[in-house]
Amino acid sequence: MGSVTLQFLQQIVNGLSLGSIYALIALGYTMVYGIIKLINFAHGDIMMVGAYVGWFATTTLHLSFLPALVLAMMASAILGVLIERIAYKPLRNVIRIASLITAIGVSLFLEYGGMLLVTPQVRTYPPVFPDTIYNIGGIIVKYGDIVMIVTSIILMVLLHVIVQYTKIGKAMRAVSFDTEAALLMGINVNNTISATFAIGSGLAAAAGVLMGVYFNTIDPLMGIIPGLKAFVAAVLGGIGIIPGAMVGGVFLGLTESLVSGLGWSTWRDAVAFLILILVLIVKPSGLFGKNIREKV
């Protein structure tokens, strides 16, 4: 294989790893938006909290990857539910900008509260996995890449099953589509919104742990950039649309990797936001979005 092709395939592998993280975070953004029409700016920070819980679980508690992942997801799920109940729920029926500003407040609270609690010091994740490297015809695939991609795929399949086939998943879709009609079915809307925050935050925590494992270091402000990127991914796929978030995340990860691979890594972040601007100009409803919501 030519070295250009190899380079390209190498960046695809890197891009899929990065993209699966963006996708996991983007799912929470999109689910929360779908159900209460709020951009939860604190979502990236919930991911950060997940990363810290995972770090604590692997260092202090000496847990292995899987239990640490589950613990982090549960902790963030609870955090997400509490944030919604305490900060967003009282503002549900007032002007939208109030909850947006509150979301920014919650984000800052988690970032700087986190600094107080765990200090701004960068922490290092212990080596959870063997640093085995597979050389597949010249393409370098790290053990971590495989874990990242496989974990993300499993979580997304799980999410799909929950949303499509379980009672709570159907309730989530019903409330997202038409809250008043959902109430008439006897669906408990508050509990359904809580479940959405729990699932979205749990997925973000999984992304946080994976980032810690993959990039080794975490800090209280680590959620900001991936949070923004995942927001771009969610908008790209069509905010509120679950498959859109998955595709948007992977697409963004691939684009960034390819841009880096071309030697323009300094442009990596700029490209993400360029994509956001283009989407907003060309098709604000995103790749999977309909331009107008049908009202029958």
Please give the residue ranges that form the binding site for another protein (CB under 8 A).
167, 170-171, 173-174, 177-178, 180-188, 294, 296
What is the nearest approach in angstroms of another protein to the Cβ of residue 174?
A: 6
Segment (H or E) for 59: helix 43-59
Nearer to another protein, 32 or 171 (CB): 171
Dihedral angle of Cα 4, 256, 243, 175, to the nearest 10 degrees: 180
Determine the straight-line distance between the first and last CA of the chain, rounded to whole angstroms.
55
What is the nearest approach in angstroms of another protein to the Cβ of residue 155?
A: 23
What is the nearest approach in angstroms of another protein to the Cβ of residue 178?
A: 6
Question: Would you call 290 helix, strand, or coil by DSSP?
Answer: coil
What is the nearest approach in angstroms of another protein to the Cβ of residue 251?
A: 23
What is the nearest approach in angstroms of another protein to the Cβ of residue 176?
A: 9
Nearer to another protein, 108 or 185 (CB): 185
What is the nearest approach in angstroms of another protein to the Cβ of residue 37?
A: 16
Nearer to another protein, 166 or 217 (CB): 166
Residue 35: closest CA among 230, 159, 192, 188: 192
For the chain, the residue count is: 296
Nearer to another protein, 131 or 294 (CB): 294
Encode burial over 231-261: b for 16+ CB neighbours within 10 A, e otherwise: bbbbbbbbbbbbebbbbbbbbbbbbbbbbbb
Nearer to another protein, 31 or 275 (CB): 31
- CA-CA-CA-CA torsion sign (11, 14, 19, 25): negative
Token readout for 61 is 């508690």
Nearer to another protein, 10 or 179 (CB): 179
Cα(157)–Cα(150) distance, rounded to whole angstroms?
11
